[in-house]
């Protein structure tokens, strides 16, 4: 299946989810709430969204600096917003966008592809670590003041279970990385040799893998840089929570800060769905989490979520798409 067809199918899935969501919560009520939104507060949502992008752009700059690829602050922000664009227009969110993002970083910095892949992979992994921390802290605080809804408790436990499972797989994979690389390179070389004459393909694969793993080790063995990027990652998540909090204010509602702080990383887990940037799935997840925890009508919650996601999703798409075009990136060719 080519990339364009995959995008078309995932976009169709997004349209269906939005149609069902608006039918269930009441599309007219959502539209009424959106029309009543305070424009100045919506503007502040944009400011918070820009702050989130800036924090994670600085994360990427710090990580690439650790790998010996110094870039300016402005260039790091340009690269990350283009990376966010790639994540938002490819199915499976970050998982689908990582190869494109790695290609973009390599193209802009003139560094090997393995450097770009190590850099963006480190950003994504550290964002998961900080998101789990934020979920645990905010849910724990929320539980001391309010009875945690069963749906939220199940979502938190499921999220932790998934993340722990992925962590175990990654840990085992890292422990036996060289054996896996050796086996994979032999299979790839054998397959290629059946199609076209090849020479030393297995050694080339092993060399590229070795460079990638060496980059990952470099990042992991820099405690001060790790502390900095984890702080920037956490700040980015908090700013996304602030954006959601202000979005509720814009439609005339106030929600507990702890709720938005765990709702944002929890809802973003739906970004792993085969949808462009999780569009549709994340919105539905937010509504499912926020309605029982806030007691606010579903239509109003949906309106606040659409304002929030209108910034968090569409700001990188519009700005990042422009930057990506300037860098000469084409999703159709990558």
Q: What is the DSSP string of 31-49?
A: HHHHHTS-HHHHHHHHHHH
Mean pLDDT of the chain: 79
- Listed residue (89, 128, 82, 134) closest to 241, CA to CA: 134
Residue 160's contacts (CB-CB under 8 Å, 6 or more residues apart) are 132, 135, 136
Q: What is the pLDDT of residue 22?
A: 86
Degrees, nearest 5: CA angle 172-177-183: 115
Judge contact between 64 and 71, C-beta under 8 A. yes
The number of CA neighbours under 13 Å toward the Cβ of 184 is 13
What's the rounded Cα separation, in Å, for the pair 21 and 37? 20
Q: In this predicted model, what pLDDT tens digit does every residue of 17-70 receive, in sequence order? A: 888 888 888 889 999 999 999 999 999 999 999 999 999 999 989 888 887 888
Domain residue spans of the chain: 3-326
The runs of H, that is alpha helices, within the chain are 3-25, 27-35, 39-66, 73-89, 93-109, 113-145, 150-175, 177-195, 201-220, 223-250, 257-268, 281-294, 298-312, 314-315, 321-326
The backbone torsions φ and ψ at residue 91, rounded to the nearest 5 degrees and listed phi first, read -60, 155
Q: What is the pLDDT of residue 334?
A: 40
Q: Which of 6-15, 48-57, 295-304 has the lowest mean pLDDT?
A: 6-15
Judge contact between 64 and 105, C-beta under 8 A. yes
Q: Which of 10-19, 257-266, 319-328 has the highest mean pLDDT?
A: 257-266
Q: What is the pLDDT of residue 299?
A: 94
Across the range 75-88, mean pLDDT stands at 87
Q: In this predicted model, what pLDDT tens digit does every residue of 130-173 receive, in sequence order? A: 888 888 888 888 777 776 666 566 656 666 666 666 667 766 76
DSSP reduced 3-state for 157: helix
93 falls in which pLDDT band (50, 70, 90)?
Answer: low
């Amino acid at each position: 299946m080519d990339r364009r067809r995959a995008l078309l199918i995932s976009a169709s899935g997004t349209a269906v989810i939005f149609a069902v969501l608006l039918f269930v919560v009441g599309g007219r009520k959502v539209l009424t709430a959106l029309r009543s939104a305070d424009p100045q507060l919506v503007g502040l949502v944009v400011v918070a969204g820009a702050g989130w992008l800036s924090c994670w752009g600085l994360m990427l700059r710090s990580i690439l600096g650790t790998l010996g690829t110094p870039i300016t602050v402005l260039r790091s922000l340009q690269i990350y917003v283009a990376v966010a664009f790639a994540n938002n227009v490819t199915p499976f969110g970050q998982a689908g966008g990582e190869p494109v993002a790695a290609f973009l970083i390599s193209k802009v910095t003139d560094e090997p592809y393995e450097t770009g892949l190590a850099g963006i992979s480190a950003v994504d992994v550290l964002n998961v670590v900080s998101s789990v921390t934020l979920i645990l802290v905010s849910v724990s605080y929320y539980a001391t003041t309010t009875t945690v809804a069963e749906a939220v408790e199940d979502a938190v436990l499921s999220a932790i279970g998934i993340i722990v499972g992925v962590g175990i797989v990654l840990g085992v994979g890292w422990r036996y990385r060289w054996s896996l690389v050796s086996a994979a390179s032999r299979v790839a070389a054998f397959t290629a040799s059946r199609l076209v004459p090849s020479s030393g393909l297995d050694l080339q694969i092993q060399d590229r893998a070795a460079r990638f793993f060496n980059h990952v080790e470099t990042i992991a063995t820099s405690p001060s840089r790790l502390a900095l990027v984890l702080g920037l990652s956490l700040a980015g998540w908090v700013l996304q929570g602030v954006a959601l909090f202000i979005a509720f204010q814009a439609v005339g509602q106030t929600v507990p800060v702890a709720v938005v702080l765990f709702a944002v990383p929890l809802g973003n887990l739906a970004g792993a769905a085969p949808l462009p940037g999780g569009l549709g799935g994340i919105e539905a997840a937010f509504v499912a989490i926020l309605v029982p925890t806030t007691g606010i009508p579903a239509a109003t919650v949906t309106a606040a979520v659409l304002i929030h996601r209108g910034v968090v999703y569409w700001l990188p798409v519009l700005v990042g798409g422009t930057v990506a075009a300037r860098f000469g990136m084409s999703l159709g060719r990558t």
